[in-house]
Structure 1
Amino acid sequence: MHLGDDERAAPAIGRRGFLGFAAAAVTSALPAASGLMTGVATSVATGVATAPVLLGSGSAEAAPLAGSVRRISLHNINTQERFDGVYWADGHYKPDVLRKLDVLLRDHRAKQVCRYDPRLFDLLARVHQSVGSDDPFEVICGYRSRRTNAMARRRSRGVAKESYHTRGMAIDIRLPDTQLRAISEMAKAMQSGGVGYYPRSGFVHLDVGPVRSW
């Protein structure tokens, strides 16, 4: 797993529409819930939920998106798993798709899945739409269990003890066809959470915690 560091004029929409639903997913994802409770980690091996992680009272709001559906395209470079499809339609998030995304973003070292805050997917979809990318987001780091986060902290002083990665509220990404600075500046302009710019490490950190940037 790549352990990313942590908290401390828009182009036209790309020509490529997101393709139809397709994803490789592990079958032991979290059970669906109509009121989506984020930050709950589950063991991929046992399917048993571990202690829930309480979310902070961030000021981020769901990013507004035009249209009757919302799409997202992700490529986890650690596991080579991909998702490309609709996660929101007819005014509602699709629970089965959110579970697939949770699995794709799991901590594969600890074999744990966390229920992600779907506002993060809204932010990603809006950024992708605004920068006009034709490529999927490459995921450098998604969910981190407490143990994995502690390991990352030993390697880097920039990793927060209460990282939003441990709460299912953060992701480190890049787009092959878009400069990192363009992604960072677009996300900061949206005022939808935290944005960290890491050109040396080759990624941008996005989260739906309080609005801030570094």
Structure 2
Amino acid sequence: MGTDDRAAPMNGRATGRRGFLTFAAATLTAMAVPAVIPAAPAMAAPLAGGVRRIALHNVNTNEHFSGVYWADGAYKADALRKLDVLLRDHRAKQVCRFDPRLFDLLARVHQAVDSDEPFRIICGYRSKRTNAVARRRSRGVAKQSYHTRGMAVDVRLPDVELGAIADAAMELELGGVGYYPRSGFVHLDVGPVRSW
């Protein structure tokens, strides 16, 4: 799956009519998110301040998001839609509605490691088909991966050691943490608390 499988960049330059239509349909699907999503009570208190920000850079598409995704006691639907598109399966050109608790987890980890850089996203959403291809290539890919549910990301930070990211996430006990130093990323999800 080389660079020719990538979706069109979000700056409007389409790679063809078919790619544009597929991308547009996926974006419209993501826009079905309600205008305001109430905050999860368990996640609201520990994050400092009245707003929550996140900064992400998708290394596969070179797209960025930096901004507020939660304010005034609720998740911001427009920001969540942008994040869903940023974290799409760029190979299948499919968008998934992500569990916003994942963004809270990323914000907390970022705060804990005191990074000045955006998270580099190695993998966000994976369609069932993309996940099946990944499983054929690697035994470490779960059949029922949280990536296929919009509940997981694989990340790194250029200014923080991978082990420090994994340690910070494990201390939070908010989901799964997989440490992959050879592959250069940490897997984070909002499934059951576990680590590997």
TM-score, normalised with respect to structure 1: 0.75
Cα separation, 2, equivalents of 1:207 and 1:178: 19
User: Whose helix fraction is larger, Structure 1's or Structure 2's?
Assistant: 2
Shift of 1:32: 2.4
Picking from 21, 38, 50, the partner of 1:68 is 50
Secondary structure of the residue aligned to 1:65 is coil
Cα separation, 1, equivalents of 2:68 and 2:11: 15
| 1:7 match | none
**Is the 1:139–1:174 contact (alpha carbons within 8 Å) kept by the matching residues of 2?**
yes
Cα separation, 2, equivalents of 1:191 and 1:170: 15
Question: What RMSD in Å do the two structures reach over aligned CA positions?
Answer: 1.9
Instruction: Give percent identity, aligned residues only.
Output: 72
Listed one character per residue, the Cα deviations across residues 28-79 of structure 1 (whole Å, up to 9, x for unaligned) are: 241222576xxxxxxxxxxxxxxxxxxxxxxxx5373111000000000000
- Determine if the alignment matches structure 1 residue 182 to structure 2 residue 164: yes
**Is the 2:36–2:74 contact (alpha carbons within 8 Å) kept by the matching residues of 1?**
no
Listed one character per residue, the Cα deviations across residues 83-140 of structure 1 (whole Å, up to 9, x for unaligned) are: 0000000001000110000000000111100000000000000100110000000000
- Determine if the alignment matches structure 1 residue 108 to structure 2 residue 90: yes
Cα separation, 1, equivalents of 2:114 and 2:36: 32
| 2:33 match | 32
| 1:171 match | 153
Q: Which amino acid aligns with 1:62?
A: M
Picking from 154, 174, 177, the partner of 1:192 is 174
Mark the CA change 1:187 to 1:24 in structure 2 (over 3 Å): closer, same or farther: farther
**Is the 2:56–2:118 contact (alpha carbons within 8 Å) kept by the matching residues of 1?**
yes
Cα separation, 2, equivalents of 1:109 and 1:188: 30
1:92-171 correspondence runs (5 A): 92-171=74-153
Listed one character per residue, the Cα deviations across residues 131-152 of structure 1 (whole Å, up to 9, x for unaligned) are: 0000000000000000000000
**Is the 1:195–1:207 contact (alpha carbons within 8 Å) kept by the matching residues of 2?**
yes
TM-score, normalised with respect to structure 2: 0.82
Consecutive unaligned residues of structure 2, counting only runs of 5 or more, are 3-9, 13-22
Secondary structure of the residue aligned to 2:43 is coil
| 1:205 match | 187
Cα separation, 2, equivalents of 1:96 and 1:35: 9
